[in-house]
Each structure stands twice: as C-alpha cells, then as structure tokens.
Amino acid sequence: MNKFVFIILLGCVTIKAQPGINIQAVRNVRLQNLKKDYTGSTVRFVVPGSTSVMGVLKNVTEKSFIISHNGSPTVYSHEKINYVFIDPSFTGKLMAIGVGLIGGAASYMAVIISKNDAHVSVKGVVSSIGLVLGLRTGLTTFYKPIKIDISGKVRD
C-alpha cells in the first residue's frame, strides 16, 4: 500500500513540476547543443517577416546566430526563432539513390524468378515501378531535413 501511495505522489509531483521549468534555461541548453553539434553545418531558419535564411553556422551566442553567407559572416537575432532546420547532406542523397537501385534490382529479380520467359516490357515496367517506389522510400527516409526546436517549450 505504501508503494502505491508513493508512486501516486511521485507522479503528481512530476506533473506539477513541469509548468515550473524555466523556459530560458531550456532554450539556453538547446542553443548550446546546437552550437556543439552543428557548428560548420548548413542551417536554415525563418526570421520574423517570413524571410528564410540559409548559411553555414559559425557560432551561437546568447542573443544571436553568426551565419556565413558566401564567406562573409552575418549576425541574426534568435530571440523570435523557434525552429532551426539542418538540410540533408550529399550522403543522404546517395542513400536514397541506393535504396532506389536496390528496389529496381529486387523487382527485376522477382520477375525473373516468378516467370521464366517473361516479356521484356514486363521486366521493364516492373523494374521501373520498383525503382520509383525504392527512390520514394529512400527520399522520405534518408533525405529529409532535421528540425531542431530551440523555442524553450517543454510541452506543446
């Protein structure tokens, strides 16, 4: 009985403590993690006024991002920015193409195995469908941007 009461009380304390979390402290931790993990990566974000900014992240300070555009650093305030996107790299594109090629080859092999003397057009159509489905699967799996929340909110 005592364990049950203790678990209930612990759950209530945890739920009650969530709204009291300092939003600025959470935001600072997320900004430091962004600086540590993605300095030198190409980032993209939307500044107030719906202008999209893209460049290489050089530094993150308390009040701003330092982004390199064509070799020249530019400073942007991150006070009203909630999300930063890291665009996929070239290796993500190679992974997507590889999955597509595997899909095409697997569908071609399935046609050869299932029917000994299949018509050339059937082989071509099935291989093309497998290639397209493999590319679509690869693109949705490996070639999407990473969305990083720097808003400071812990719950939506």
- Residue 153: predicted pLDDT: 74
- Residue 99: predicted pLDDT: 93
* Contacts for 62 with CB less than 8 Å, ≥ 6 apart: 28
pTM for this model (two decimals): 0.64
Task: Taking the CA atoms of 49, 36, 62 and 154 in sequence, report the sign of the dihedral they define.
Answer: positive
- Residue 109: predicted pLDDT: 94
State what percent of residues in the chain have pLDDT above 70: 88
pLDDT in tens, 31-58: 898 889 888 888 898 888 878 888 888 9
- Residue 15: predicted pLDDT: 63
Number of helical H runs and strand E runs in the chain: 4, 6
Tell me, what amino acid is at 154?
V
pLDDT under 50 in the chain at which residues? none
Question: Going from the N-terminus, what domains does the chain have, and what CATH number goes with each?
Answer: 2-87 (2.30.30.100), 90-142 (no CATH)
Query: 131 exposed, middle or buried (CB, 10 Å; 0-12, 13-18, 19+)?
Result: buried
- Alpha carbon separation from 29 to 34, 120, 151 (Å, rounded): 9, 59, 11
